[in-house]
Amino acid sequence: MKEKIIRLFDLTFWKFILVGIVNTVFGTAVMFGCYNLLHLNYWLSSAANYIFGSVLSYFLNKNFTFQNKSKDYKVILKFIINITICYLVAYGVAKPVIRVALSQMTKKIQENVAMLVGMCLFVGLNYLGQRFWTFKAENVEEK
């Protein structure tokens, strides 16, 4: 069990974190810009983050993090399914939880905080999905 936990936080994990930092800066700018500058709603703003950020994430994680050489369209399909499930779960949980937790705050504050919480939930779920499902077959460290 200890070996599995240690393997979970190996070089692949740190590469994922590095890609995540780049992607988070990019996606966060898109999301909060859409919400606060373009005045798009919660779902459109957070979705814009993941639509644009996912394209960047796919190429960086496929080639750099997981060194996946597959040309199979199934990898793209698995990536899209993983991103979609992680997005819906993370943001679907974050919004009602934060609405209750910050019920005395304005809707704008609630939704900004919910987007931050959703981002954190998404990162954890997305890492697990990409590592152990989307790119699993070609993951160099796990062969």
pLDDT of residue 99: 97
Q: How many domains does the chain have?
A: 1
pLDDT of residue 63: 92
pLDDT of residue 5: 63
Residue from 85, 84, 91 nearest 121 by CA:
91
Q: Mean pLDDT across the chain, nearest whole number?
A: 88
Amino acid at 33: G
Q: End-to-end distance of the chain based on CA atoms, in angstroms?
A: 19
pLDDT of residue 12: 87
pLDDT of residue 136: 82
Question: Cα separation of 138 and 61, whole Å?
Answer: 12
Range of the domain at 31: 2-142
Residue from 93, 103, 101, 91 nearest 41 by CA:
91
CB atoms near residue 124 (< 10 Å) = 11
pLDDT of residue 139: 43
pLDDT of residue 140: 46
Mean pLDDT of 78-98: 95
pLDDT of residue 64: 93
Mean pLDDT of 113-124: 92
70 band by pLDDT with thresholds 50, 70 and 90: confident
Q: Is 106 left (phi over 0), alpha (psi -120 to 50) or beta?
A: beta
Q: How far is CA 67 from CA 47, 63, 141, in A?
A: 27, 5, 10
Two tokens, residue 100: 């209750």
